[in-house]
Structure 1
Amino acid sequence: MPRTARKTMSERQLKMLDFIRGYFNDFGIPPSIRDIVTGCKISSTSVADYNLKHLERAGYIRRHKDVSRGIELLGAEGRPRQLVPLLGKIAAGRPIPVPDVDTWKPELAAENVDVPETMIGHRKNVFALKVRGNSMIDALVNDGDIVIMQAANDVENGQMAAVWLKSEKEATLKRVFKQDDGKIRLQPANALMTPMYENAKNVVIQGRVIGVLRKVE
């Protein structure tokens, strides 16, 4: 983050912003206010709320008060941005058939998306996918949103990932849980939907979610 941007925030607000970004990277969802209170060692939720309001006014986050964990990371106005290759669509619902795993290669992208530099940081091999379906809505990922991914062949349990199913030649966006019985549970973030259980040999992790660009209605 540029020094000029950091001057607009207190050390506490900087710590909160870094915590929110790290929490999303680790778990694929934003933290709750109580997560922020605990993680940043803040005295109360009202103090956290006050500082979150400052971050929102400064353009670093957007809050959706009617949504649980409704914090969205943004790039503040005028801050550096990067072009990221948009590699196609990913299903947040039923898997979408795609011709070949090579379709994920950035050099094959037909277009790019403009992404806040703060969302990418120093990461390499970053790409974007457009979401189809509503299976991840409880993680604040909706139909038409764009997920920003970092290429990876493994993720921690509970992280949101782009998953390639080899036998079906299909891709889907789900939280990944490795089970002791050799199965992989692909968990939707939608209480109305059931998880998918796949043999670990049939699952290839293509990348993990590091951010979301919301569709503007």
Structure 2
Amino acid sequence: MMMVRRSKGLTDKHKKVLEFVNEYQTQHGRPPSIREIGEKVKISSTSVVNYYLQQLENMGYIERDNRVSRGMRLTDKVHQIVQAGNMLRIPILGPIAAGQPLPELQPGLSYTDNEADAVDIARSLLPSKEKGDNLYALRVQGDSMIDAMINDGDIVVMKQTSEAHNGEMVAIWLPNNNEATLKYFFKEKDRYRLQPANPTMKPIYIKKTEPLEIKGKVVMVIRKVDKPLAV
């Protein structure tokens, strides 16, 4: 077994691993495998990739669950990997349901005037195509997206948009119900399917004749780390 030394700080390789994990999670809805990380950052040995991941875990930048395949999450400590000048402050506008929809995303409604209610994100951790424009954050309530490694209390960073492709995770406003929800989005023949990432929950179906507003799509997930670990 390879002994993992405590790193004195983040190297360029550490940063590249974090950037790729975030980008892959955004695109695929799940973390990458160790082999995929190695291919991206040009490390041929999976044991060396695991070595870097263990260092990142020891430093508090990721959290892993070895009982789950691809069980890896970025923590809210990632903002410390760059200097303050490279940070992006994103307002947390309020809660979004990941279980039952909540009446939160009303168009034109401001959630809070408290500037402290925000999250600082390292620009280098955003997907490479994102420049940081039109971003906002929502705090997840509920457990319908747990198989996408999004838990109650986590923060999702959203890109404001009114359009989405099949399979993208989006925040959707349902005017008829005065509700909003966070789900995977799919267009079907005569309806929209809002799919949870929890096998115990059923999808929400909305007829195409009914109003539906896409308010943003997920570009990054920040794990809440102040919850006690289960024993």
Whether 1:177 and 2:181 are equivalent positions in the alignment is no
CA spacing shift, 1:57–1:185, aligned 2, 3 Å: same
Moved more, 126-135 or 31-40: 31-40
Higher share of residues assigned strand: 1
Whether 1:144 and 2:156 are equivalent positions in the alignment is no
Residue 88 of structure 1 corresponds to which residue in structure 2?
Answer: 94
Residue 6 of structure 2 corresponds to which residue in structure 1?
Answer: none
Moved more, 71-80 or 181-190: 71-80
Residue 201 of structure 2 corresponds to which residue in structure 1?
Answer: 193
Q: 1:127 corresponds to which letter in structure 2?
A: Y
Pick aligned residue for 1:114 from 119, 127, 138: 119
CA spacing shift, 1:34–1:208, aligned 2, 3 Å: same
The CA RMSD measured in Å over matched residues stands at 2.8
Q: 1:30 corresponds to which letter in structure 2?
A: P
Pick aligned residue for 1:168 from 174, 177, 184: 177
**Structure 1 segment 1-217 matched on structure 2, within 5 A:** 8-10=11-13, 13=14, 15-37=16-38, 43=44, 45-57=46-58, 59-74=60-75, 75=78, 77=80, 79=82, 80=84, 81-98=87-104, 100-103=106-109, 108-111=111-114, 112-118=117-123, 119-120=125-126, 122-179=131-188, 181-200=189-208, 202-215=211-224, 216-217=226-227
Give the C-alpha shift of residue 171 in structure 1: 0.3
Identity of matched residues, %? 42
Moved more, 77-86 or 147-156: 77-86
Q: What stretches of structure 1 of length at least 5 have no aligned partner?
A: 1-5
Q: 1:196 corresponds to which letter in structure 2?
A: I
Aligned residues: 206
Other structure's SS at 1:161 match: strand
Moved more, 78-87 or 145-154: 78-87
Measure, in 1, the Cα distance between the counterparts of 2:27 and 2:105: 30
CA spacing shift, 1:168–1:63, aligned 2, 3 Å: same
Measure, in 2, the Cα distance between the counterparts of 1:167 and 1:177: 19
Measure, in 1, the Cα distance between the counterparts of 2:55 and 2:105: 46
CA spacing shift, 1:127–1:190, aligned 2, 3 Å: same
Give the C-alpha shift of residue 37 in structure 1: 4.8
Other structure's SS at 2:53 match: helix
